[in-house]
């Protein structure tokens, strides 16, 4: 947003949404986020100026802002534009819950100027929740900062420009808690050569139950931040097995893997195929297919040790398309096209 003619202020707070059971998120995480959202809304309303665009990155924060705005006389004279940035509409197995969620989001997104999602595939579903004459649904690929651990590693890697010296045994790292299929990954590791081991980083015991562990598959709980980045850096291959087809999932781990210049295996879905294509170091595999995963693992392992140029190509994909700068430019382009008058 640091461009001519645009002034911007960031209001932020730290609220942990990391819980081993989803019910804890509902009982503790979301209420804390809502209270934080009310405080942030008060701070931002206090400095409101004309023609202001207010962006929130979570539906709970948007709800908090809308409720806080009801009690502010200051907002009413201005042509305020609201944006929800990074919306993923996840279906539920219960028909009743699905109806309640649809009703909630239809009302929450009323009079919102723009909803940014992470995939073209999701636009029709989200568009069905809004009045498209009022609300623009815009796909912008997910972008992310690599974190200090990966950033420091990359600076040293780029300075040395050394080829990879990886030798067996080979390690696979997988991470994430949403829409993951760790059962298929564990089956693939069991069927892979004995020099393959796997570490799964997941604090959700439903997504990654202890029963999946074996001599060559280990599950790690409460691994975040630099500790998570360090495990990605130390991995030989990053795997992102997905259980859902029609929603954005797995992008954070995928992009961190590219930032760390790692070979990647990811489930082929309409959304993942928007981000990466099959290549020497990127393998797209069918859902729930352990055999295809084993083949992909063997193909990647057969390429070790990797050249500096090959790994650098992975990193360049990240920098060109998915870094925080690339993402910021894409978001700003959407703002200019759909929200700015001039």
**pTM for this predicted structure:** 0.88
pLDDT on residue 311: 94
Write down the domain spans for the chain. 22-143+324-338, 147-322
Contacts with 141 (C-beta within 8 Å, 6 or more apart), sequence order: 118, 119, 251, 274, 275, 321, 322, 327, 330
Is it the case that residue 50 has pLDDT exceeding 90?
no
Across 78-99, average pLDDT: 87
Percentage of residues in the chain with pLDDT exceeding 70?
A: 96
Q: What is the pLDDT of residues 52-61, one digit of tens each?
A: 889 999 999 9
Can you tell me whether residue 68 is helix, strand or coil?
A: helix
pLDDT on residue 80: 85
Q: What is the pLDDT of residues 246-261, one digit of tens each?
A: 888 899 999 999 999 9
Across 147-171, average pLDDT: 92
Q: How far apart are CA 32 and CA 93, in angstroms?
A: 26
Is the domain spanning 147-322 CATH 3.40.50.2000? The answer is: yes
DSSP state of 216: S
Is it the case that residue 17 has pLDDT exceeding 80?
no
Q: What is the pLDDT of residues 267-313, one digit of tens each?
A: 999 999 999 999 999 999 999 999 999 999 999 999 999 999 999 99
């Amino acid at each position: 947003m640091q461009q001519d003619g645009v002034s911007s202020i960031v209001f932020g707070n730290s609220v942990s949404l990391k819980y081993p059971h989803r019910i804890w998120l509902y009982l503790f995480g979301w209420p804390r986020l809502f209270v934080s959202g009310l405080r942030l809304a008060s701070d931002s309303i206090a400095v409101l100026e004309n023609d202001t665009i207010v962006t929130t990155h979570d539906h709970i924060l948007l709800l908090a802002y809308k409720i806080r705005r009801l009690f502010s006389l200051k907002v009413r004279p201005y042509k305020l534009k609201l944006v929800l940035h990074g919306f993923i509409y996840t279906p539920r197995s219960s028909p009743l819950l699905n109806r309640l969620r649809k009703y909630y989001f239809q009302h929450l997104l009323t009079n919102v100027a723009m909803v940014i999602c992470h995939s073209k595939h999701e636009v029709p579903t989200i568009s069905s929740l809004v009045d498209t004459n009022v609300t623009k649904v815009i796909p912008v690929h997910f972008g992310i900062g690599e974190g200090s651990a990966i950033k420091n590693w990359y600076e040293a890697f780029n300075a040395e420009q050394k080829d990879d010296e990886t030798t067996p045994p080979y390690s696979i790292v997988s991470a994430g808690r949403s829409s993951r299929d760790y059962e298929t990954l564990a089956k693939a590791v069991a069927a892979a050569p004995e020099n393959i081991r796997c570490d799964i980083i997941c604090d959700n015991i439903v997504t990654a139950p202890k029963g999946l562990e074996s001599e060559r598959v280990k599950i790690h709980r409460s691994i975040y931040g630099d500790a998570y980045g360090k495990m990605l850096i130390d991995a030989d291959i990053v795997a992102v097995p997905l259980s859902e087809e029609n929603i954005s999932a797995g992008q954070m781990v995928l992009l961190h893997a590219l930032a760390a210049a790692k070979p990647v295996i990811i489930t082929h879905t309409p959304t993942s195929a928007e981000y990466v294509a099959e290549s020497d170091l990127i393998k797209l595999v069918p859902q729930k297919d352990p055999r295809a995963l084993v083949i992909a693992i063997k193909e990647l392992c057969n390429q070790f040790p990797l050249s500096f140029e090959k790994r650098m190509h992975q990193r360049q994909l990240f920098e060109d398309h998915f870094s925080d700068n690339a993402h910021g430019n894409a978001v700003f382009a959407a703002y200019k096209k759909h929200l700015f008058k001039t």
